[in-house]
Amino acid sequence: MTLLEPHDLTFMAGAPYLYHCHHYNLFHDQTVDDVLGEEAGQRVRFEAARAAYHGLLAPLSARLDKRTPAERIELAQELFRATGHGRMSLDITADGGTARGEYLHYGYTWSEKYGDAVRRLETADAVAAGFAAAATQVAFGLPDGSIGARERQCVARREPVCEFALSRRTPGPGIAAPVTEEDFKRHLGGSRGGQHEEQIGAIADALQGFVKGVGGDERGLVDAFGVFVTLHLANYYDQTAYEAVRHIEQAAPSSVGLCEALLREAGHVCVFNTFGGILASPEWEAVAYPLSGDPLEIIKGGAAIARGLGFGRWSVDEYVPGQRLVMCASSNYEAPFYLARYGRSDKPRCYFFQGAALAIMVLAHRVKWQEKPRLSQALYNELFRGAGLGFEVTANRCATRGDDCTEVVVRAT
């Protein structure tokens, strides 16, 4: 694992990765399915996961000198567990086979969050399916796209296990190469700080050191800060999000705004659950400061947490309590992917950063941290789905458009 300084972006064997929690992961996948439809959404998510994991497992196996199929399978299974995605057992040959998952991050956490209230009809583990397919391809030296996967059983459907059937197929046209660390470097500009830089940087460094020591438990899950955390691949998030937007731009242009709003809301979900969980944790007091109720503590903390989780170099450029927040990302994990895959955009497209900045302002001013609130779905609904957020966000600059940084302004409404 490497940290690209001073951009606060992280890579494993050249593949960009970061940390996201189950609330964000489930919301992100549901957004893709809502935009594309369940069948197409499943396909896009599976293909993105297969490509992202092939782009990690192939170079990782080479760097670690894993030459035989057995060695590569063992490496893949251990990586899956260590990164918080559950446990995966692969019984495979070059023609396919079966995979069995236990405590799979997506299926298990969906059941924990929604299982008592909702009867799910579709399987939940496109990421695990893509991983199993990629692991098979890499184990036997097959090109990306050579293995398909179908989840036959899923605990999110109240079935006893998660089980996948893997089969050989001819790779289809148009399989794009993964976006790598070298691609990121080509599309990153200079790094810059902002207000309170010394304190934000010190907290970020401490958080980066903390998360390096986090790994999957005996279930293959990372249970931390009140959420289930995954070390996940940026290529998966970026490819699924931007393919959903591109589809809706072509098929239903009038609905683009709604699609973009959902991708921004994913930022709300992440900040509320993951950032909020970290801020409310005993570990936060150890690496930063106890929360006194001053909104500025949350603003600074938000920028530091983003850096610590590998989201990029987020900075505070301007802050007027209760009225205005200007945040700048001289680097983030969205823009380099977009530029490498699609070229320069005609409008801002760092949707996650936009939504996250707004949510940081909401948490700073509308949550009574001294009362140690429970970060429940009811509180989320009250803050983000009630009569009004109290704030709005505008993207002034964006690296996807060729600007030197991505800058957003959050204003009171």
Task: List every span in the chain annotated with CATH 3.30.1380.20.
Answer: 13-168
Are 266 and 355 within 8 A, CB to CB? Answer: yes
Question: Hey, which residues does 168 pair with through a beta bridge?
Answer: 147
Write down how long the chain is.
413
* CATH tag for 13-168 (out of 3.40.50.300, 3.30.450.20, 3.30.1380.20, 3.30.470.20): 3.30.1380.20
Q: Are strands 96-102 and 162-168 parallel, antiparallel or unpaired?
A: antiparallel
| Each residue's pLDDT tens digit, 203-238 | 999 999 888 888 999 999 999 988 999 999 999 999
Contact in structure between 338 and 238 (CB atoms under 8 Å): yes
Q: How many CA atoms lie within 13 A of 143 on its CB side?
A: 10
Q: State the Cα–Cα distance between residues 103 and 22, nearest whole angstrom.
A: 13
What is the distance between the alpha carbons of residues 36 and 183, in angstroms, rounded to a whole number?
28
At 49, give phi and psi (nearest 5°).
Answer: -65, -45
Confidence of residue 389 (pLDDT cuts 50, 70, 90): confident
Q: Average pLDDT for residues 128-147, to the nearest whole number? A: 97
Q: Is 75 helix (H, G, I), strand (E, B) or coil?
A: helix
Q: Is the dihedral of CA 413, 303, 233, 16 positive or negative?
A: positive
- The closest alpha carbon to 99, from 143, 162, 52, belongs to 162
Residues 6+ apart with CB under 8 A from 290: none
pLDDT digits (tens, 9 = 90+) for 147-192: 999 999 999 999 999 999 999 999 888 788 899 999 999 999 899 9
Least confident of 17-21, 64-68, 78-82, 111-115: 111-115
Could you give the percent of the chain with pLDDT greater than 90? 89
Token pair belonging to 144: 């990306």
Over residues 33-67, the pLDDT tens digits come to 999 999 999 999 999 999 999 999 999 999 999 99
Of 253, 259, 242, 274, the residue nearest 359 (C-alpha): 274
Show the tokens assigned to 42.
């499943």
For residue 273, what is the DSSP state?
I
Q: Phi and psi for 322 in degrees, rounded to 5?
A: 75, -10
pLDDT at 20 over 80: yes
Residue 86's region, left for phi above 0, alpha for psi from -120 to 50, else beta, is: left
Query: How many angstroms separate the CA atoms of 363 and 357, rounded?
Result: 10
Using CA atoms, how far apart are residues 268 and 362, in angstroms rounded to an integer? 9
- In this prediction, residue 295 has a pLDDT band, given cuts at 50, 70 and 90, of very high
Q: What residue has token string 């802050």?
A: 319
Rounded average pLDDT over 268-288: 93
CA atoms within 13 A on the CB side of 105: 32
Instruction: Please check the confidence at residue 388 and state whether its pLDDT lies above 80.
Output: no
- Work out the mean pLDDT of the chain and round it to a whole number: 95
Looking at residue 212, its pLDDT comes to 83
Rounded to two decimals, the pTM is 0.96
Average pLDDT of the segment spanning 379-405: 92
- Structural domain 181-224+256-412, CATH architecture: 2-Layer Sandwich (3.30)
Residue where the block lists tokens 């900075």: 315
